[in-house]
Amino acid sequence: MSLKFDVDAPTLNRYVMNNTKDAELVLLLNSLATSFKLIASAVGRAGVAQLYGLAGEVNSTGDDQKKLDVMSNDMMINALVNSGVCSVLVSEENEEPIIVPADKAGKFCVAFDPLDGSSNIDCNVSVGTIFSVYEKKDGSVNDLLRSGAECICAGYCTYSSATELVFTFQGSTVEGFCLDPTIGEFVHTRFDMKFPADGGKRIYSCNEGNFIHWDQPIKDAVEAFKNGIDGKPYTARYVGSMVADIHRTLLYGGIYIYPADKKSPNGKLRCLYEGIPMALIIEQAGGIASTGYFEGKIGRVAELTPDAIHCKCPIIMGGPRDVGVIYDCYKKAGIETPTL
């Protein structure tokens, strides 16, 4: 019997308590996990429950909202407001921040994209949730408009053939948990996740439909990937769901590119609940999370300070081998690059 059933399952709650000794942080991650389970159920039943299609609204950044966007957002807000440990919430789906009532407020501020990649949901492509956590200072939205260096926890949950949660605490390792539907708990399945030491598979991931808008070093780097580094061409893989593309990049290696360009000079991805949390995960797994050439220099995404809750940033994320190719192209253009 013990070969089939784990009588001592290493659950998410146990991991958080053992590694932080912070009961409120356990409550926060438990509330997030509850919302992920609800979203996973809704995504899995979307066709049967007629949850495909548009909701007839637009979100904070002007994107058409899907029915599942609205539902996922409500699930996360309800779970976090009623957790008793949150003070301020920011969602991609809400134009304004959500201030938790004083009688339910706690010490954490959470920013999240409830259903990243939802434009793909009607064709059954992987989607996910991304979140970042900060500690409360004064209980206002300014608590979230801080450098990524002050983010205390970040993670994502991907909904596909399995529901996987990947997260990290500031200064710690990256850990992965898989939802076991037989017990309804996230179980620890990936330990101290790292980018492959040799760079892993030769994969580049970007929306090449934007090629004409990119700066020349980015064009040169993508051409180098296509034509081959050391005689070995790279494979193109682009899902269009950031969670899916980053999860693959973290596990297999390669590079994910969504740079600033002529069409979107500030980048396209949201800094607070996409760029910063993914940067924290990537860096603590041994990778590099760069802005590319942005605001006159090449910097780290994790050092950006959002100037608005829905502001955007460019992203180049991968291992040193592949980010180094882009940096070399910037060097040839006379742009100072960080040391890898």
Active-site positions?
63, 69, 92-93, 113, 115-116, 274
Pair 74, 52: CB distance under 8 Å = no
Query: Which residues in 189-222 are b (16+ Cβ under 10 Å) and which e?
Result: eeeebebeeebbebbbbbeeebeeebbebbebbb
DSSP secondary structure, 7-41, as one string:
TT--BHHHHHHHHH--HHHHHHHHHHHHHHHHHHH
Short-list 130, 101, 104, 106, CA closest to 117: 130
Token digits for 230?
A: 């050391």
| Tally of residues, the chain | 340
DSSP secondary structure, 250-271, as one string:
HHHB-EEEE---SS-TT-SEEI
Q: Categorise residue 31: left if φ over 0, alpha if ψ from -120 to 50, beta otherwise.
A: alpha
In 47-104, the DSSP E strands lie at: 54-58, 64-66, 86-91, 98-99
Sign of the alpha-carbon dihedral angle for 158, 143, 292, 229: negative
Pair 284, 168: CB distance under 8 Å = yes
Pair 250, 281: CB distance under 8 Å = yes
